[in-house]
């Protein structure tokens, strides 16, 4: 028993089965503009990278809380020494 569902098409892809040349050109243009937006949106890419790194650090801290506490203490000492100097 399977349910026929359409496969979602990414924003940067052109759907298959378009027969009208005008609709195909519009779909290609839309996909190209979406790809340019994804590539050129640097703040969003940076935000996504930061979110991924934060999740990795939180997971590492959850697995090894002693190392996380030592890292926090080391960073606090470095900031303190920098301010004091």
Express each pLDDT in 2-40 by its tens digit. 667 665 666 667 777 778 888 888 888 888 888 888 888
d(CA 62, CA 43): 28
Scan for tokens 């640097």, then name that residue: 42
* pLDDT recorded at residue 63: 92
Whether 54 and 48 have beta carbons less than 8 Å apart is answered as no
Q: How far apart are the first and last CA of the chain?
A: 71
- Which percentage of the chain shows pLDDT scores above 90? 33
d(CA 25, CA 42): 27
């Amino acid at each position: 028993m399977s349910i026929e569902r359409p496969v979602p098409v990414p924003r940067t892809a052109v759907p298959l089965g378009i027969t009208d040349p005008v609709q195909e050109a519009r779909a290609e243009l839309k996909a190209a503009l979406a790809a340019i937006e994804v590539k050129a949106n640097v703040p969003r890419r940076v935000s996504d990278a930061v979110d991924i790194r934060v999740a990795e650090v939180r997971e590492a801290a959850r697995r090894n809380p002693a190392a996380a506490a030592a890292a926090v203490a080391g960073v606090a000492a470095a900031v303190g020494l920098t301010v004091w100097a």
